[in-house]
Structure 1
Amino acid sequence: MTTFVLPPLYFDGSVVDVLWDNHEEAIRWYERFMMWEVGQQENWKPDPRCTHGKMTRLNWGTWLISSLSSVRLPHHFAERGTVESNIRLCWRTKNLKRLHSHYQSNGVRVTAIYKGPGHTSYFDFWATGEGIRFTAQEDKGIQEEGFVHSWIRIGVSNLSASVQWYCSYLGMEVENDSSQDGYAIMSLRLNHQPNHKSLWVLEQVTDDAYIGKVDGPVRPVCWVGDREAFFHYRTFLSESGIETSDVGGFLTRGLVSFHAYDPDGNRLNFSSM
């Protein structure tokens, strides 16, 4: 029996699913409260079954995607009004307390400041009128105002088992095993910058944390460069007992995507062209 070899996977930025009627308002929110700028805008449909689509690229490879369709799509959807996912996109900023106060005074929902992985401070905040959660992280070494991309935090119920899972099924490497502090820092290569790494933090959740499948609006995207390898990879995950979605997008030619869930129900997106 031939052993399946994982294709090279790369971190390709993140997608934020935005309701169609909120798209322009969401752009203005990120411009105002995160000082982000629009890098690219187009009327792009993520799936041929959509009747309309919008796609806006903001800072750090973050895409806002909205679409309208008369059918439930196999991949491009988010469930709203449920529990928060255990996936956090973190953004570094140099003055966390000042930002926290600024958000509070302007009616942005925030958590208290807390200590987290890397022995640094964080707070969660909910962006736009839809309440899309992001996480601010303190980094006093940053010179400029605003936000700089940090790592992705993923809450798991069994840290050691999850480290092995992400190594085995995504090809991640362990950068720093801090299991004594309840987390491990992992890495995945960056798309378009193969000599650089994206950092992912697997962290042990508390006993009362929700564990289960969550289709939240914020998702990191892993890229498979070879289109044929992309389809083989999905088959491998499915045959390995991992729940995967059907492939969405343009199956004959164009962008294709699917998602899969880690053992704790954290949703991971995979794409190719």
Structure 2
Amino acid sequence: MATGKEIPELYFDGQTMDVLWDNHDQVVDWFEKYFGWKVLRQENWKVDPRCSEGKMTQMDFGTWLVTYLTGTRLPHHYAERGTVDPDLRLCFRTRELDRLRRAFVTDGIRVSAVYSGPKTRYFDVWATAEGIRLTLQEDRSLPSSELAPSWVRLGVSRLNESVQWYGQHLGMKCVEHQPSQGFAVMELQLNHSEEKSLWVLEQKSSDAYVGKVDGQVQPVCWVRERQDFFKYHQYLKQRGIETSGIGGFLTQGLVSFHFYDPDGNRFNISSM
């Protein structure tokens, strides 16, 4: 951790998708068919020593499908199903928004109506048999019909306060603030890249749900120095931010925890 800094440098490291054991292979097949993704790596690996079995599949854009069997609730590795949809929306850009939506409808896949959001049009798709909600975003400037990574959208109840909160506790920098349009754009360094990741904070309606949501799609921020990871965990807890216990391999290996912003949006933090 840099001298004089209370939080470490965070790097956006992609996302995990929590997948049930019996559905893992079908989920891989769905993303290959509908998103055109490829399998980059597969491991029979347990995310936590308390698991009896585990497997992970890496696909495009830093996406890891994570599956595990355990006889106890783990401190970090879990997701809730069948409750409210998270206000966190992982977005992917496409030049063919309407065509893709029609294709999903034809195949009986649940989609939302096309709607306007920050800067462009979107629709949500509940991917795979597990109903993992993802968001497609129109970008006519793309050179091909392949999907491209985009930003993460987060619903917040107090936009201006959230801009400050994310800067204070995650080190994000605000690069665009449009309070009259109800959104702000924050940035965070990408891991293994000189580019930045973008996070859009959106003012949500007054009647929207506010509370913790542990969705299946979980963005991961990476801490490069292992000792800084543990210090950051303590920093968050000492400031009264709801923070999970640490999961993974405490002595040596991958470790992770998560915490929630004031609206209940979940952030995963990992290190090695």
* Structure 1 residue aligned with 2:27: 26
SS of residue in 1 equivalent to 2:195? strand
Work out whether residues 125 and 135 of structure 1, in 8 Å CA contact, stay in contact via their aligned partners in 2: yes
* Structure 2 residue aligned with 1:5: 6
Q: RMSD of the TM alignment (CA)?
A: 1.0
Work out whether residues 151 and 200 of structure 1, in 8 Å CA contact, stay in contact via their aligned partners in 2: yes
1:253 maps to amino acid = Q
* Structure 2 residue aligned with 1:71: 72
Work out whether residues 156 and 162 of structure 2, in 8 Å CA contact, stay in contact via their aligned partners in 1: yes
2:205 maps to amino acid = T
Gaps in structure 1 of 5+ consecutive residues: none
Work out whether residues 183 and 201 of structure 2, in 8 Å CA contact, stay in contact via their aligned partners in 1: yes
Between the aligned partners of 1:40 and 1:167, the Cα distance in structure 2 is 34
* Structure 2 residue aligned with 1:224: 223
* Structure 1 residue aligned with 2:205: 206
Between the aligned partners of 2:9 and 2:224, the Cα distance in structure 1 is 7
* Structure 2 residue aligned with 1:215: 214
Work out whether residues 93 and 142 of structure 1, in 8 Å CA contact, stay in contact via their aligned partners in 2: yes
Work out whether residues 4 and 236 of structure 1, in 8 Å CA contact, stay in contact via their aligned partners in 2: no
Work out whether residues 111 and 123 of structure 1, in 8 Å CA contact, stay in contact via their aligned partners in 2: yes
Deviation at 1:10, TM superposition (A): 0.4
Work out whether residues 16 and 65 of structure 1, in 8 Å CA contact, stay in contact via their aligned partners in 2: yes
1:90-122: per-residue Cα shift (whole Å, max 9, x none)? 00000111111111111110000001012x000
* Structure 2 residue aligned with 1:46: 47
* Structure 2 residue aligned with 1:192: 192
Between the aligned partners of 1:144 and 1:244, the Cα distance in structure 2 is 41
Gaps in structure 2 of 5+ consecutive residues: none
Between the aligned partners of 1:59 and 1:89, the Cα distance in structure 2 is 14
Between the aligned partners of 1:190 and 1:30, the Cα distance in structure 2 is 23
Between the aligned partners of 2:97 and 2:147, the Cα distance in structure 1 is 11
* Structure 2 residue aligned with 1:86: 87
Deviation at 1:146, TM superposition (A): 2.5
* Structure 2 residue aligned with 1:124: 124
User: Given the alignment of the two structures, is residue 262 of structure 1 paired with residue 257 of structure 2, yes or no?
Assistant: no
Deviation at 1:5, TM superposition (A): 2.3
SS of residue in 1 equivalent to 2:124? strand
* Structure 2 residue aligned with 1:102: 103
Deviation at 1:177, TM superposition (A): 0.7
SS of residue in 2 equivalent to 1:28? helix
Between the aligned partners of 1:33 and 1:103, the Cα distance in structure 2 is 8
2:226 maps to amino acid = R
Q: State the 4+ residue runs in structure 1 displaced beyond 3 angstroms.
A: none
Residue identity (%): 57
1:128 maps to amino acid = T
Work out whether residues 13 and 220 of structure 1, in 8 Å CA contact, stay in contact via their aligned partners in 2: yes
* Structure 2 residue aligned with 1:251: 250
* Structure 1 residue aligned with 2:155: 155
Between the aligned partners of 1:246 and 1:151, the Cα distance in structure 2 is 28
1:50 maps to amino acid = C
SS of residue in 2 equivalent to 1:60? coil
TM-score using structure 1 length: 0.97
Between the aligned partners of 1:83 and 1:230, the Cα distance in structure 2 is 30
Work out whether residues 159 and 203 of structure 1, in 8 Å CA contact, stay in contact via their aligned partners in 2: yes
Between the aligned partners of 1:8 and 1:266, the Cα distance in structure 2 is 20
SS of residue in 2 equivalent to 1:101? helix
SS of residue in 2 equivalent to 1:265? coil
